[in-house]
Amino acid sequence: MVQIAPYGSWKSPISTEMIITDAVGLADIALDGADIYWLEGRPKEGGRVVLVRPDASGAGIDLTPAPFNIRTRVHEYGGGALLINNGVIYFSNFADQRLYRQVEGGAPEALTPAIALRYADAVYDQHRNRLITVREDHTAGGHEPVNTIVSLSLSGENGGEVLVSGKDFYACPRLSPDSTKLAWLEWSHPNMPWDGCELRLASVLPDGTLGEAELVAGGLRESIYQPTWSPDGLLYFVSDRTGWWNLYRITDGQVESLYPMEAEFGQPMWVFGTQTYGFTLDGNIVCAFTQNGFWNLGILDLQSKVLSRINQPYNYIGNLKVSGNRVVMIAGGSNKTMAVVEYDLSSGEMRVHKLASTLEVDSGYISTPQAIEFPTNGGLDAYALYYPPANKDYLAPEGDLPPLVVRSHGGPTSASPALLSLSFAYWTSRGFGILDVNYGGSTGYGREYRERLNGNWGIVDVDDCVNGALHLAKQGLADENRLAIQGGSAGGYTTLCALTFRDTFKAGASYFGVSDLEALARDTHKFESRYLDNLVGAYPERLDLYRARSPIYHTEGLRCPIILFQGLEDKVVPPNQAEMMFEAVKQKGIPVAYIPFEGEQHGFRRADNIKRALEAEFYFYSKVFGFEAADQIEPFEIANL
């Protein structure tokens, strides 16, 4: 029987235990002959990442012996930690950042020395029995690490011989099918790869060194993504030279556009190893592309230049790999759990190899996201996904409006896809609405939309989160007196700015968020150390802007409760940022809580910490918004409450 109860107090079968019980993170698909592999990040094992292959019955076999953990810290965000060639596994181990070689069933063998070197994005050179890989050298101690592309002999333990150097960053070293040419991406401060990077090409000389490098595409204002060699030896890549990440190739020394379209066939390279296209047995391209926040799958006929969409049930497609007539990808949807999915181009059949979670939840407790477009500052529009409250067992009293959590995603050059999320369902099944905002600066809407944030971080993103919340409140879909905002990392900065510089939100939660832009510019790791030049202004020349937009210097404007979550080993946003904010807000007499987590870095990977953070945020809102939570949640101290 349906019960009447206020929003926020609904009892839900979706518990934090359900969310973390068997859930895994899925990443880095690898294809090797007929074999499919993928990586699983396991919260129950402290976030350890394990290589898995299905056996003949379809059950997953763990190939990584404990305590090995496949994860690299190049650029801190990692990715590209795995390579498999003819059954031999090469991987980066998180604890020591050494590269290892492993034959299935055998013990991993170290290839690199136990010194401060990190590796990512390797390819195998079959003609010379070596790896070519990005190396990040931290042996100089307190100096900025040095990034290069190196060759790594497989005949004995070694740190690698430098092939390419001189730029601040490198990615995607890719050998031609005959191993005579190497292509790669490079860029330097203050650019991030999505601002602009260069695609270079060089001949591989008989001694394994490289000839003179040629600039093929890219520049300070052109972003290149995923250079890939076709089986017949042509170099393909994605470029945003038209304002959209589209497909190109080099034909007779000239850049050829393959299919101009107002869609994104690429994505920001926060991590190594991501892919959105690959080549079929007949030489065409299977590609993933996004429009208006929704991903699609298609086949591009390279003769007719016709793109045919593949009918499939997923809204998000990532890490796409193609071999023969098989397409393997990580996919998910608004009503589909993230999964490793194989699509057979010949038969049109789809097979799910691994679900991120095997829990089956009654659809009556799941909120279906609605894509919305709403007006924002400057006569512009912004985008978001709205998840309304959903619980088949409850209705709210007449006249009651739901509390709303506005989510500001990280990056900030990232995007929120429409995915089935039990973490979101935890909130919506208890009577909250969620607005997941793809504010100006997000990817998936073209370069012009992405560049709205340039020089305006802490302004445009905040405007869009505020206007999205007010848009729902005006429509009677949210209680304007119970609007909250939350976000992690860059989203945590947007959260802190919204709470400090605006009065729309009545509470907020910052997960490892930036409170001091100057401290971030000084203390963060190399990859992001000049990121703020474009988002805010040159540092220290525009110190005035850094101070003006740093919440820590303007706590007099903060008038509502806030909870802060922080990993104590975070190198991207150091813990002192949250600690300074906590002390400042506490001194103002405003309700505030600070929950640090030992052993966590930038993002929480341990099951008990994921559970604790989710429950603590809900408990915090129940106290400051004055409703009775249906669940028994472990209390904690909220200062000034």
Between residues 35 and 292, the one the model is more confident about: 35
* Structural contact between residues 137 and 148, judged by C-beta atoms closer than 8 angstroms: yes
Cross-strand bridge partners of residue 634: none
Residue 169 has a pLDDT of 98
Nearest CA among 318, 351, 353, 327 for reference residue 79 = 318
| Residue 434 covered by a domain | yes
- The model's confidence at residue 582, banded by pLDDT at 50, 70 and 90, is very high
Q: Which residues contact 443 (CB under 8 A, 6 or more apart)?
A: 194, 264, 267, 268, 411, 413, 414, 415, 450
* Structural contact between residues 210 and 200, judged by C-beta atoms closer than 8 angstroms: no
Residue 1 has a pLDDT of 85
Handedness of CA 107, 113, 114, 115 (dihedral sign): negative
253: DSSP letter = T
Check pLDDT > 80 for residue 572: no
Residue 523 has a pLDDT of 80
Rounded to whole angstroms, the Cα distance separating 162 from 518 reads: 34
- The model's confidence at residue 44, banded by pLDDT at 50, 70 and 90, is confident
Residue 604 has a pLDDT of 86
Pair (369, 341) in one structural domain: no
Residue 452 has a pLDDT of 97
Pair (454, 490) in one structural domain: yes
Average pLDDT, the chain: 94
Give phi and psi for 435, each to the nearest 5: -115, 110
pLDDT, mean of residues 251-268: 96
Check pLDDT > 80 for residue 22: no
Number of domains in the chain: 2
Pair (470, 428) in one structural domain: yes
Residue 589 has a pLDDT of 94
Domain containing 469 equals 3-11+361-625
| Residue 641 covered by a domain | no
- Tens-digit pLDDT profile for residues 230-243: 999 999 999 999 99
Pair (365, 349) in one structural domain: no
* Structural contact between residues 150 and 97, judged by C-beta atoms closer than 8 angstroms: no
Check pLDDT > 90 for residue 46: no
CATH number of the domain to which 599 belongs: 3.40.50.1820
Q: Identify each DSSP E strand in 140-245 by its residue range.
A: 146-153, 161-164, 169-175, 181-187, 198-203, 214-218, 224-229, 235-239
Check pLDDT > 80 for residue 512: yes
| Residue 302 covered by a domain | yes
| Residue 632 covered by a domain | no
Pair (402, 322) in one structural domain: no
Pair (350, 367) in one structural domain: no
Pair (519, 404) in one structural domain: yes
Single out the residue in 356, 374, 389 at which a domain terminates: 356
Pair (393, 350) in one structural domain: no
| Residue 597 covered by a domain | yes
Residue with tokens 């589209």: 246
- Tens-digit pLDDT profile for residues 602-622: 888 888 899 999 999 999 999
Single out the residue in 314, 341, 356 at which a domain terminates: 356
Pair (602, 526) in one structural domain: yes
Q: Identify each DSSP E strand in 334-387 by its residue range.
A: 336-344, 350-355, 370-376, 380-387
User: At CA 384, angle to CA 495 and CA 392, rounded to 5?
Assistant: 100
Pair (337, 383) in one structural domain: no
Pair (488, 340) in one structural domain: no
- Tens-digit pLDDT profile for residues 152-175: 999 989 999 999 999 999 999 999
- Tens-digit pLDDT profile for residues 115-128: 999 999 999 999 99
- Tens-digit pLDDT profile for residues 176-221: 999 999 999 999 999 999 999 999 999 999 999 999 999 999 999 9
Specify the 3-state DSSP secondary structure of 115: coil
pLDDT, mean of residues 447-464: 97
Check pLDDT > 90 for residue 419: no
What 3 state SS string does 384-437 have? EEEECCCCCCEECCCCCCCCEEEEECCCCCCCCCCCCCHHHHHHHCCCCEEEEE
What DSSP element (H or E) covers 327?
A: strand 326-333
| Residue 181 covered by a domain | no
| Residue 118 covered by a domain | no
Pair (478, 557) in one structural domain: yes
In this structure, the strands spanning 507-511 and 562-567 are: parallel
